[in-house]
Each structure stands twice: as structure tokens, then as C-alpha cells.
Amino acid sequence: MRRRLVAVVQDHAGVLNRCVSLFRQHGHNIDSLVVTRTTVAGISRMTWIVDAETIDPLLAQLNKLIEVIDVFEDPNFSPTAPNRCTCCAPATTPFRTTVTQADGGH
């Protein structure tokens, strides 16, 4: 079963390595990994997609890491939903209007 795990972590050197090492120790293969900065200085968000039946021991181990502020399984994740990409790019007003209309006004 594919699952999405999200962790809010301190933005320090080595945090990614420590988190990923736990996945290896638990025998989980990471299908996807995204790390982004948040609007709060020094805090990052890690998002993993993993194919695993049980993840409770992994979540418990991630929570024990000092740099991990919060970790949880995304309850809204649907592995059968089509992939959707969100991106930010500077745009002039005419281009922004065209993109907004193409997206149905969202």
C-alpha cells in the first residue's frame, strides 16, 4: 500500500541522511522524496511516498530524532488519484490571466 509521510524538521546538515537511514533500517523503499523550505526560517518539510503495509514503527523512530518537530501520515493521500504538479513562476499580468483561465479560474 502506497502511503505519504510528512515530517517537519529543523533545517540542519545531516537531517535528511538520518531520516532516510531509518527507512533503510526498516526495509522500506522510498518511491518519492521532496524536501522544501517552509515560510519559517530554519524549518523544512520532508515528504516521502513509500510502499509499505505497516509504518507505525518507522513513524515512532522518526519522532525520536531530535531534529524532527512533527511527523505524520497524510490522511488525504490517494494513491490512485492522478498526479498533479503545483509550481510558482513570476508572470506578467496577461500571461497570468491566460494561465488562470486555462486552470478553470483557480
The answer to whether 9 and 46 have CB atoms below 8 angstroms apart is yes
CB atoms within 10 A of CB 87: 4
Taking the C-alpha atoms of residue 81 and residue 31, their distance in angstroms, rounded to an integer, is: 16
The answer to whether 60 and 22 have CB atoms below 8 angstroms apart is no
Q: What is the pLDDT confidence band of residue 71, given thresholds at 50, 70 and 90? A: very high
pLDDT in tens, 2-36: 889 999 999 999 999 999 999 999 999 999 999 99
- Cell numbers placing 67: 531534529
**Comparing 3-7, 37-41, 80-84, which segment has the lowest mean pLDDT?**
80-84
pTM for this model (two decimals): 0.71
CATH of domain 2-75: 3.30.70.260
